Structure 1
Amino acid sequence: MVDRKRSASSRQHNDDSSSDIKKKIKVDPDADTKEEKKILSKEKPVDTNKEGNDEIAEDKSPEEDLDEAKSNNKKHNKKREGSQSEEDEKDVEHDEEAENDENVDDGNGNGENEDDDEDDEDEAEEEEEEKKQISTFEFDGVKYTFRERPSVIEEREGKIEFRVVNNDNTKENLMVLTGLKNIFQKQLPKMPREYIARLVYDRSHLSMAVIRKPLTVVGGITYRPFSNREFAEIVFCAISSTEQVRGYGAHLMNHIKDYVRATSDVKYFLTYADNYAIGYFKKQGFTKEITLDKSVWMGYIKDYEGGTLMQCKMLPSRLRYLDSAKILLLQKAAIEKKVKMRSNSHVVRPGLQIFKSSKDVSLKPEDIPGLAESGWSEEMDKLSQKPKRGPHYNFMVSLLAELMNHPSAWPFSTPVNKDEVGDYYDVIKEPMDLSTMESKLENDKYESFDQFLYDARLIFNNCRSYNAESTTYYKNANKLEKFLYNKIKENPEYASYLDR
């Protein structure tokens, strides 16, 4: 047992701000009597006056301390043991502090070396991850490499799996469906939570989940197959926000395409995508051009306000979506082989030596070895130097993209449906929408920025002409127009166009 004991005879503690001087005393378990333990545990008052303490320290000699110790031998021994105990404890504390600071610096720069070692280990791990993502194969004696997504590597290593589930009332499938429901509700906040739960647990719907082993759901797709009509509707598609940089979304879509094509007669996917999901679905082979006959799907799928209907037509079954990266590289290799058979473009010729002897030499292109053989002509040279796009093209592309992604753009994304609004084209003689503007821009129909701005204003004016001021459409037109003008004003080069 360790007690605190005040000491007036200590020469080491003379701090001006200290009001007490305490000393640790260790009680010897072999003490002969209880009385001796009581003596050791008592506290003696110390004069808090600094000068008084100094006098005690100056007047008391080691000989006097020794005489006093001899008068009470056991007490003296206990004090010495207590002092030794305090020193030992201080040494232990000092060692612990040194141990804690060892990683920072031990006086010889070892702390910095350890930091460098950790950085080297991190770099080595990153290099190892990079190597894992590179796959190689040989075609016609030539080695080709391509990068695989982290999700593909994780599946190969058994860290994740792609599992098809439905509500068959088994415990594990219900756990997976509940995990999917939670992710959909979090990632799709505008969708009613009860609606999401109802469709996920609906037995006419199937889901494919991305599961990190043992049983953590990180994303998935819920869809409803209409096998007799050869299409399926993707109802929900989401990946957890913390997992969206590992390629799970693309890998999941490839998995579900291969699965649906192999297990059913489905040849088309249909889905309604919001503005934020259109880009993702385009990358997965979806398009806004619906070639599937309306009579096949109309009335079978849910029509979402503000969503854009998109379609994906399946590739022939001999092509496996999960091998698409390798297949594309094989196609490239086959084309390069054919090109080499018909041209000498792959032949590397020695550099022109004429420029080494003189710098002021003019050389005609047709005199350069191999240039004429490659199919070069003066007309081709002139065409290649001609700019492919107008000077305003890049600005118009970025501006139109921002307009299409704006929350108020949904009423103007596609042409007005004549079947839904019968008299629209009787009232509006010059209709316009954002998708038409996109098509015109891609086909170089806008020779000037004035023409682009005219079509944009036409959208807003048509909307205000047909709809009442109190309607959502009218208000959205005003919001989108204001957004457009603000974006143009941010660019001084185009701000003057608003006054024309």
Structure 2
Amino acid sequence: MNREARHMEREHTGELQAVYITNNGSIENGRLLIGLKNVFSKCLPNMPKEYICRLIFERRHKSVVIVRNGSQVIGGITYRTFPGTPAARLGEIAFCAVAQTLQVTGCGTRLMNWTKHYAREMDGLEYFLTYADNNAVGYFSKQSFTKTVTQEKDKWFGFIKDYDGGTLMECRIHPTLPYASFPEMLAKQRAALEGEVKRYTTGHVVHPGLPHWKEGGGPMPVGDIPGVVEAGWSHAAGMLYKEYQIAMNGQILDPTEDNLFEFMTMLLKKAQKHADAGPFQRPVSAMDVPDYYSIIIDPMDLGTMEERLNSRRYYITLNMFAADFYKMVKNCQLYNGATNPYFLAAKRIYEVFWSVMRSSILPNLEAAGIVEPKL
């Protein structure tokens, strides 16, 4: 939608223009139809040029073209109408193309929306049908075409051309949607919705950064962070304060700051002493593994975890501690692959880590709000 909005801005400046044309004998329409024929010939190489010319110049066919700088045709759609028949409210799209350099810029969507607008306003159409080849099914699907034809068969069968190997697709042209100003309509609706949301929430309020840690502060109570209480947080609902206990050294302990520090220290030492821990004791050397840091952008190792733990400021919850341990093992998997000996070693340490966590947290991890990531 943002890409189409940019094309609308170009329309407002006059750089782009959407024009509805027929072969009415005028020099200007003839010039635009020749330009459209050139676009179709380049973008649809399997279509004979004679066939393209016959259809776009045939008077029952209408075309909508996107013109750049008043002269250059950069895309268009040609469709046929059936006035005075049971298919009078139906249009059959024969050709649809935009210049190859513009096929991922939103120009195709803008073109289709203009075509729906003109088909409804100029020709009174309510439906489009088209046979799409395999390369075009995706595009038409994005433009609200479906493979389900809802119209009664006698209203279209025998009127539109039947192509072997194509997929018949249908699109209903809404009677009131402002196709030509669709992005503007959505922008106004979004602004109105956001305005209503702001009346009942504070999510749009931005608080300044906290100087707490710059000034050497330790763990900060969640309730002291500006905006947290206003957003509806309460002490009872805070994940940091889930009620649980720790089984350690033959005792059942509350998760105080000191007890958490001792428990995490015990877990870390157990990991460091594991038989497979050698490669994970310190950061990976860029000299030994030159491409490591181009692949792993957020490295972790047991030595770094020990520094963070000993600062007594970083790991204020078990979830934060466990997340770094998971990161170390996941990085190993990402760089080496799931069958590499290094990852298998890291996985064995990881299994011991979580075995101790599961047996030490009471009543259980889920009740304590502690997440066990799966590899």
Post-superposition shift, 1:193? 3.2
Deviation per CA, 1:164-197: give whole Å up to 9, x if none.
2223334443333233223212211222333322
2:229 paired with 1:369: yes
Partners of 2:102 and 2:229 in 1: how far apart?
Answer: 54
Tell me: CA distance 1:147–1:275, structure 2 relative to 1, closer, same or farther (3 Å).
closer
Equivalent position of 1:152 in the other structure: 8
Partners of 1:165 and 1:196 in 2: how far apart?
Answer: 16
| Among 182, 186, 206, the residue aligned to 2:38 | 182
Partners of 2:191 and 2:95 in 1: how far apart?
Answer: 37
1:88-487 alignment runs, 5 A limit: 151-213=7-69, 215-226=71-82, 229=87, 230-244=89-103, 247-317=106-176, 319-348=177-206, 359=218, 369-372=229-232
Tell me: CA distance 1:377–1:257, structure 2 relative to 1, closer, same or farther (3 Å).
farther
Deviation per CA, 1:205-226: give whole Å up to 9, x if none.
1112233455443321110124
1:169 aligned counterpart, secondary structure: coil
Q: Is the 8 A contact 1:208 1:221 kept in 2?
A: yes
Q: Is the 8 A contact 1:226 1:266 kept in 2?
A: no
Post-superposition shift, 1:257? 1.5
Deviation per CA, 1:333-372: give whole Å up to 9, x if none.
11122223344444556878987876457869xxx52454
1:254 aligned counterpart, secondary structure: helix
Q: Is the 8 A contact 1:184 1:236 kept in 2?
A: yes
Partners of 2:27 and 2:207 in 1: how far apart?
Answer: 69
Partners of 2:68 and 2:50 in 1: how far apart?
Answer: 26
Tell me: CA distance 1:354–1:288, structure 2 relative to 1, closer, same or farther (3 Å).
farther
Q: Is the 8 A contact 1:149 1:246 kept in 2?
A: no
Identify which of structures 1 and 2 has the higher relative contact order when contacts are C-alpha pairs closer than 8 Å and 6+ apart: 2
Post-superposition shift, 1:262? 1.4
Partners of 1:274 and 1:340 in 2: how far apart?
Answer: 47
- The residue type equivalent to 1:338 in the other structure is E
1:260 aligned counterpart, secondary structure: helix
Partners of 2:131 and 2:53 in 1: how far apart?
Answer: 18
Tell me: CA distance 1:186–1:323, structure 2 relative to 1, closer, same or farther (3 Å).
same
Tell me: CA distance 1:327–1:276, structure 2 relative to 1, closer, same or farther (3 Å).
same
Q: Is the 8 A contact 2:4 2:109 kept in 1?
A: no
Rg comparison, structure with higher value: 1
Q: Is the 8 A contact 2:201 2:231 kept in 1?
A: no
Equivalent position of 2:373 in the other structure: none
Q: Which runs of 5+ in 1 are unaligned?
A: 1-145, 380-491, 494-500
Q: Is the 8 A contact 2:36 2:76 kept in 1?
A: yes
**CA-based RMSD:** 3.9
Deviation per CA, 1:41-92: give whole Å up to 9, x if none.
xxxxxxxxxxxxxxxxxxxxxxxxxxxxxxxxxxxxxxxxxxxxxxxxxxxx
Partners of 1:353 and 1:185 in 2: how far apart?
Answer: 65
Tell me: CA distance 1:337–1:249, structure 2 relative to 1, closer, same or farther (3 Å).
same
- The residue type equivalent to 1:209 in the other structure is V
Post-superposition shift, 1:246? 5.5
Post-superposition shift, 1:307? 2.2
Partners of 1:353 and 1:211 in 2: how far apart?
Answer: 56
Post-superposition shift, 1:241? 2.5
Partners of 2:122 and 2:154 in 1: how far apart?
Answer: 24
Deviation per CA, 1:360-404: give whole Å up to 9, x if none.
57869xxx5245469x9799xxxxxxxxxxxxxxxxxxxxxxxxx
- The residue type equivalent to 2:21 in the other structure is V
Partners of 2:13 and 2:188 in 1: how far apart?
Answer: 25
Tell me: CA distance 1:304–1:370, structure 2 relative to 1, closer, same or farther (3 Å).
farther
Q: TM-score, normalised by structure 2?
A: 0.51
Q: TM-score, normalised by structure 1?
A: 0.40
1:167 aligned counterpart, secondary structure: coil
Answer with 343-352 or 297-306: which moved more: 343-352
Answer with 259-268 or 285-294: which moved more: 285-294
Q: Is the 8 A contact 2:37 2:52 kept in 1?
A: yes
- The residue type equivalent to 2:37 in the other structure is K
Tell me: CA distance 1:348–1:151, structure 2 relative to 1, closer, same or farther (3 Å).
closer
- The residue type equivalent to 1:369 in the other structure is V
Tell me: CA distance 1:215–1:334, structure 2 relative to 1, closer, same or farther (3 Å).
closer
Q: Which runs of 5+ in 2 are unaligned?
A: 240-336, 339-375
Partners of 2:94 and 2:4 in 1: how far apart?
Answer: 28
- The residue type equivalent to 1:178 in the other structure is I
Post-superposition shift, 1:259? 1.4
Q: Is the 8 A contact 2:202 2:231 kept in 1?
A: no
Indicate the percent of aligned positions where both proteins have the same amino acid.
Answer: 43
Equivalent position of 1:39 in the other structure: none
Partners of 1:238 and 1:256 in 2: how far apart?
Answer: 12
Deviation per CA, 1:127-166: give whole Å up to 9, x if none.
xxxxxxxxxxxxxxxxxxx776554344333344332222
Post-superposition shift, 1:231? 2.1
Q: Is the 8 A contact 1:211 1:219 kept in 2?
A: yes
1:292 aligned counterpart, secondary structure: coil
Tell me: CA distance 1:362–1:316, structure 2 relative to 1, closer, same or farther (3 Å).
same
Equivalent position of 1:80 in the other structure: none
